[in-house]
Amino acid sequence: MASTNNPAAHTTTTVVNGSTENLNGPVPGSSANEAPIRSYKTAWMYLFDWYPSHYSTQEKKMLRKLDAFLLTFCSIAFFLKWLDSSNINNAYVSGMKEDLKLNGNQYSLFGTFYNVGYLICQIPSMMILSRPKLAPYFLPTMEVLWSILTFAQSRLDSAQTIYGTRFLLGVLETPVASGSLYIMSSWYRPEELFKRAGVWYISNNLAVMFGGYLQAAAYTNLDGVGGMQGWRWLFIIDGCISLPLAIAGYFMFPGLPASKKPWWLTEEQHLLARRRMRDAGVQESKNLSWKLIKRVFSTWHFYLAVLCYTFFLSSSYPTGQMALWLKYEAAHGGHKWTVPQINTIPTAVSAVSVVVTILATSLCMVYPLWTVMTVVQGCTLFSIVVLLVWNVPIGLHFTAYFMLGFTAAVTPILIPWVNIIMKDDAEARAFTTGAMLTVGWGIYSFYPIAVFPVLEAPRWKKGYAVEVVFVSMVYILFMLGQYLQRRDDKKAAANVMVVDEEKLGDESTHKEIKS
């Protein structure tokens, strides 16, 4: 797809799959550009202003529909992904280990096989999702297949069957995370994106919390029912929740703005949605070609984004390991925590994540990104240092684990930011965000085995020392990206001024000749 400007007619046309569409027409343009200037002292009052008063009535209606359908489905899809991911951990500490006679590093290999399937198909999935004709159907179909395979997990009988199932689930999950944010950044303007990315992202924390309570209920009430252990019932319940919600995706998920108009938008609203993104500098999809490779690898965005996300993902590993510490303390530390308590206490980490993520992503819209990231990474670093020291009061130990919930705020800041700074190239944006997760999860697949072996749990001396370096690198790279983007913005602004001055000079010369 390509955009062409006709200065004489002052119109913009977009070529999609061989047909030409006029994005101007009679529909009014976006009123988002008319935002009032607010001081930092009063900006906090507008943290939760989702539909600003300066937006037109039509634009507010269109945004509400996007939130009701697009944001809701993406959040549901992400919720289901993390519900299953957290339930394999809950099942492990709730009888799976003993029933299937699992030992050693097999627990870590569950995640490794899942991640291998994920990283192999991540970039191809993103390229498919960048195609307007395929986008509306691709994500819902993968969700339906995911749900069916979730049922199959209730019949697992060995480590080998777990490995194969987790690999396939990793393949099916590929378009959910990076794909959701890619699609959202194609419909929401930069000033609208972070808040919604925060809401989208907390669905995974809610899934972790819900999964803990669900496993506790299954262990207590269903263990032995029908001749099955409680942890097997967990996957059956998970599948019953997932399948109908996945099918709903065929009616809720719109694909890309350049895709066929979704049934829940009017023609005028669909045109407005596309035009407002064009006005914000967000380019729609073009035809794929090998030139994409050159565009991706010839800029700093790709390298910095991939490195930053890779360091972040690895640094987030301790966040989900509180249950192992509780189980160890219950067995060796004299604390009498029950299995349901071991499943439910770590949900407090997710509760912290929900609050911090909503607050941090809302702050991103009124304060500089670097200030929010400084607080988030500072709190994370404090927690890691406490766990590295280890011999601290148990209250501080709990505090450290709970504060690891701050890491949840990084993804809905980092990935939307990458989408925004690469908004002028839809294919490069899709490739880069896919590569971020491919490389990040590729390293993460082997990272726990090398740095956090289960046999050393829960006190990983080497692991927490490495974490200090990784958390610091995330912050350093993000700050470097902020500097490079400001530099590029200044260059672009200077080039625009030069072009404008040349145009004025040409017009003046033309008038002199004419006179």
Give the highest mean pLDDT range of 109-118, 150-159, 306-315, 441-450.
306-315
pTM over 0.85: no
What 3-state DSSP class applies to 2? strand
Mean predicted lDDT score pLDDT of the chain: 83
**How confident is residue 157, by pLDDT bands cut at 50, 70 and 90?**
confident
Tokens, residue 449: 């085995």
Query: What is the spatial distance between Cα 264 and Cα 273, in angstroms, rounded to a whole number?
Result: 13
**How confident is residue 18, by pLDDT bands cut at 50, 70 and 90?**
very low
Query: What is the spatial distance between Cα 381 and Cα 356, in angstroms, rounded to a whole number?
Result: 15
Q: How many of the other CB atoms lie within 10 Å of CB of 108?
A: 19
Mean pLDDT computed over 364-378: 91
**How confident is residue 17, by pLDDT bands cut at 50, 70 and 90?**
very low
The amino acid occupying position 283 is Q
**How confident is residue 25, by pLDDT bands cut at 50, 70 and 90?**
low
Q: Identify the residue whose tokens are 């030409």.
A: 20
Q: Is the pLDDT of residue 429 over 90?
A: yes
**How confident is residue 2, by pLDDT bands cut at 50, 70 and 90?**
very low
**How confident is residue 504, by pLDDT bands cut at 50, 70 and 90?**
low
**How confident is residue 158, by pLDDT bands cut at 50, 70 and 90?**
confident
> What is the structure's pLDDT at 5?
37
Tokens, residue 166: 């987790």
| 396: nearest Cα among 413, 410, 382, 407 | 382
Q: Is the pLDDT of residue 420 over 50?
A: yes
The per-residue DSSP string of 263-277 comes to TTS-HHHHHHHHHHH
> What is the structure's pLDDT at 8?
32
Q: Is the pLDDT of residue 286 over 70?
A: yes
**How confident is residue 4, by pLDDT bands cut at 50, 70 and 90?**
very low
Tokens, residue 160: 């080998």
> What is the structure's pLDDT at 307?
97
Q: How many of the other CB atoms lie within 10 Å of CB of 515?
A: 5
SS (H, E, C) 96-163: HHHHCCCCCCHHHHHHHHHHHHHHHHHHHHHHHHCCCCCHHHHHHHHHHHHHHHHHHHHHCCCHHHHH
User: Could you give all domains of the chain from N- to C-terminal order, each with its CATH number?
Assistant: 57-287+314-502 (1.20.1250.20)
Contact 102, 159 (CB under 8 A): yes
Packed helices 72-91 and 177-187: angle between N→C axes, nearest 10 degrees: 160
Q: What is the percentage of the chain residues whose pLDDT exceeds 90?
A: 43
Tokens, residue 148: 């069916």
Model pLDDT for residues 46-59, shown as the tens digit of each residue? 677 788 888 889 99
> What is the structure's pLDDT at 506?
59
Asked which of 181-185, 354-358, 451-455, 492-496 is least confident by mean pLDDT, the reply is 492-496
What is residue 508's DSSP assignment?
H
Asked which of 229-233, 432-436, 449-453, 483-487 is least confident by mean pLDDT, the reply is 229-233
Backbone angles phi, psi at 244, to 5 degrees: -65, -35
Model pLDDT for residues 287-334, shown as the tens digit of each residue? 888 889 999 999 999 999 999 999 999 999 998 888 888 888 887 766
**CA triplet 462, 463, 466: central angle to 5 degrees?**
85
> What is the structure's pLDDT at 21?
55
Residue 197 C-alpha from the chain's centroid = 7
Q: How many of the other CB atoms lie within 10 Å of CB of 221?
A: 11
Q: Which residues, 6+ apart, have CB-to-CB distance to 255 below 8 Å?
A: 132, 134, 135, 136, 137, 183, 262
Q: Identify the residue whose tokens are 């684990």.
A: 401
Contact 122, 441 (CB under 8 A): yes
Tokens, residue 509: 């010369």
Mean pLDDT computed over 257-282: 92
Q: Is the pLDDT of residue 508 over 80?
A: no
